[in-house]
Amino acid sequence: KCLLGYTKPFVKCGKKGYVMPGAFRNHAEAIYNLKVRPDDIWVITFPRSGTTWTQEMVWLIENDLDFETAKEKPLYERFPMLELTAQIPELAFQLIKNNFMNLKNFQGLNQATKVSSWKTIEDAPSPRLIKTHLPLSMLPPNLLSTAKVIYVARDPRDVAVSYYYLHKMVGNSFVRTTFQNFWEAFRRDLLPWTPIIEHTNEAWKQRHNENLHFIFYEEMIKDLPKIIHDVSKFLNRDLAEKEVNILADHLSFDNLRKNKTVNNSTSDNGEVQFIRKGEAGGWRTHFDAKMEMEAEEFITSRLRGLDIKYPSIS
């Protein structure tokens, strides 16, 4: 259920009040009732948590390290995003109408408006690979008992910084705002897909479910080969050590940044790219002392009563 009249053009959806683009309310029910298939693999994240990185990893593991196709076909076609396919053309139209997005800068969406529709995912041949930023509570209730899910979480402070640059990149109304203002909106749960810690907690609570594999972005930064090994095992596609290393090299920050089928969006002036810095802890250079205290208070209060153990938060 989505409530209208929130911060235009957004609505608040579900029991936890997740912020969604307004057009989402037309599709929330269809998504909730989507037929999940046993061989589906879903990558679920809050935006800017390492989704793209994980998608490329999962696609290659599932496709026997077919680097040729991966270099030819854009990731957004190989691994579609549920919300975009569900909301096109409405979402795209709404975003342009509200001057929220400069489509030119967001090739994924630009392309998707031409080629996909909601049917893309409903009718896609098996096995389907599906990306979504929706929290578990807004997805089909039988998802975890039916398909495999990989959830990636990241330190909310780094997410906030990365999310700020994404908004700058796509050229929406936040483009001229300062990071301070953006952070204010982030911590007040005014931005799409917030609240972030609730989002992560839903998956964290399921981390022992055999169909859910929970990863932290910071762990990927620390030891990518280990994560590749664990994910390939989770997908029942154990890779040999040599293959793990080849894949880790393909997925390195420098290589992925150069990779045009994966890193395919930039800001108008080319300064901000979708794959931007790739650091854990980079938030420190964006938060002044006041914001740092606010962040601490945000994290402490939102984690109260929860047992999520972020590797970067003690």
Q: Would you tell me which residues interact with ligand A3P (CB under 6 A)?
A: 45, 47-53, 158, 162, 165, 251-253, 256, 275-278, 282
Q: Are 77 and 98 in contact (CB under 8 A)?
A: no
CB of residue 234 vs ligand A3P: minimum separation in angstroms?
19
CB of residue 275 vs ligand A3P: minimum separation in angstroms?
4
**CA 217, CA 156: separation in Å to the nearest integer?**
11
Decide whether 2 or 76 has the Cβ nearer to ligand A3P: 76
Decide whether 89 or 278 has the Cβ nearer to ligand A3P: 278
Distance of CA 61 to the CA centre of its chain: 19
DSSP labels, 142-176: THHHHSEEEEEE--HHHHHHHHHHHHHHHT-GGGG
Q: Are 152 and 227 in contact (CB under 8 A)?
A: no
CB of residue 1 vs ligand A3P: minimum separation in angstroms?
27
CB of residue 165 vs ligand A3P: minimum separation in angstroms?
6
Q: Please count the other Cβ atoms lying within 10 Å of the Cβ belonging to residue 277.
A: 14
Decide whether 2 or 167 has the Cβ nearer to ligand A3P: 167
Strand order across the beta sheet in which 18-21 lies: 2-3, 10-13, 18-21
Q: Are 170 and 105 in contact (CB under 8 A)?
A: yes
Decide whether 51 or 201 has the Cβ nearer to ligand A3P: 51
**CA 143, CA 134: separation in Å to the nearest integer?**
12
CB of residue 253 vs ligand A3P: minimum separation in angstroms?
4
**CA 161, CA 150: separation in Å to the nearest integer?**
23
Closest by Cα among 34, 21, 5 to 87: 21
Closest by Cα among 95, 97, 118, 98 to 106: 95
Decide whether 10 or 165 has the Cβ nearer to ligand A3P: 165
CB of residue 79 vs ligand A3P: minimum separation in angstroms?
11
Decide whether 55 or 120 has the Cβ nearer to ligand A3P: 55
Decide whether 107 or 117 has the Cβ nearer to ligand A3P: 107
Decide whether 278 or 311 has the Cβ nearer to ligand A3P: 278
CB of residue 4 vs ligand A3P: minimum separation in angstroms?
28
- Taken in order 18, 191, 197, 147, is the CA torsion positive or negative? positive
**CA 161, CA 144: separation in Å to the nearest integer?**
31
CB of residue 296 vs ligand A3P: minimum separation in angstroms?
20
